[in-house]
Amino acid sequence: MDQGIGDRFQQETKYQRGKLPAGHLDWSKKPDRYKVYPRAKKIKLEPPQREGGTPFWKTIERRRSCRAFGERPLSREALSQLLWASQGVTKTDKDFELRAAPSAGALYPIETYLAALNVDGIEPGLYHYDVRPHELELLKPGDFRESAACAALDQDFMAEAGAVFIWAAMFERTKWKYKQRAYRYIYLDTGQIAQNLALAAVSLGLGSCQIGALYDDEVNALLDIDGDEESVVYMTAVGMLQE
Ligand SMILES: Cc1cc2nc3c(=O)[nH]c(=O)nc-3n(C[C@H](O)[C@H](O)[C@H](O)COP(=O)(O)O)c2cc1C
């Protein structure tokens, strides 16, 4: 059978008994766990709620991909809740923050960016989520409805969303420990985050759709990330349900 790069990747990154990769962790080279834009305007988000929402089993049952959104804006409170539920800090252990979604080796390779398209009280634009203080950092103000949809393989419905979550991987954070197998973990990590977001959206009475079909370098260009050390992996559009 003709072996493509995906087939080779799957084979060559297997763990096999007795053949585990040797090596030690070079702690002097451990990458930073957080990316921060120190000069960006900061938007403090509402404290997340720990109670309420749709009951869990109903939430699971009601999750569907939603590709048509209502016109009303998302609330700031809902946006805050979605960011926390997908990537927020849920526990601090000594000086180490653990997040809402699990991550291989607790290395947290994923950065969250947000295209705020129609959010009450949030200026439209591109933002980065600063995890520890639970703040948004404004990267570029502007109307990104069309560019977000175009970069997602021209999926026009995205322009009607309230916000588009864009997850980018900083590969070295996980490669530092897991070498080439890190790519498996990074994609799995992103799926965990996206599922948390999808369920949180249902719990808040919102709709969401995962987006894997995207022009990687077009999204990277929007975010001003290099596509090499850091690259988009996945996105999710979230918005109000149609009335
Ligand atoms: C990895 C992944 C990528 C996806 N990419 C897209 C996408 O680009 N556009 C889209 O409309 N739906 C996308 N979806 C949603 C699937 O089409 C959807 O989950 C599937 O049809 C099952 O429907 P349900 O989510 O309503 O249960 C994606 C789902 C996953 C898990």
Digit-coded pLDDT (tens) for 105-128: 999 999 999 999 999 999 999 999
Distance 93 CA to ligand 1 centre (A): 35
Give pLDDT tens digits for 7-37. 999 999 999 999 988 888 999 999 999 999 9
Its sign, for the CA torsion 224, 116, 37, 212, is: negative
Which residue lies with its CA nearest to atom 23 of ligand 1? 65
Domain coordinates in residue numbering, the chain: 41-240
Which residue lies with its CA nearest to atom 27 of ligand 1? 64
Distance 60 CA to ligand 1 centre (A): 16
Distance 213 CA to ligand 1 centre (A): 9
Which residue lies with its CA nearest to atom 10 of ligand 1? 211
| Residue range 41-240, CATH number | 3.40.109.10
Measured from the Cα of 198, ligand 1's closest atom is: 25
Mean pLDDT of 191-213: 98
Of 151, 112, 152, 117, nearest in space to 135 by CA? 112
Of 56, 83, 50, 61, nearest in space to 162 by CA? 83
Indicate the pTM of the whole model. 0.97
For residue 100, give the H/E element and its range: none
Distance 20 CA to ligand 1 centre (A): 35
Instruction: List CB contacts of 241: < 8 A, sequence separation 6 or more.
Output: 66, 69, 70, 205, 206, 207
Vertex 159 angle, CA 119 and 37, to 5° = 55
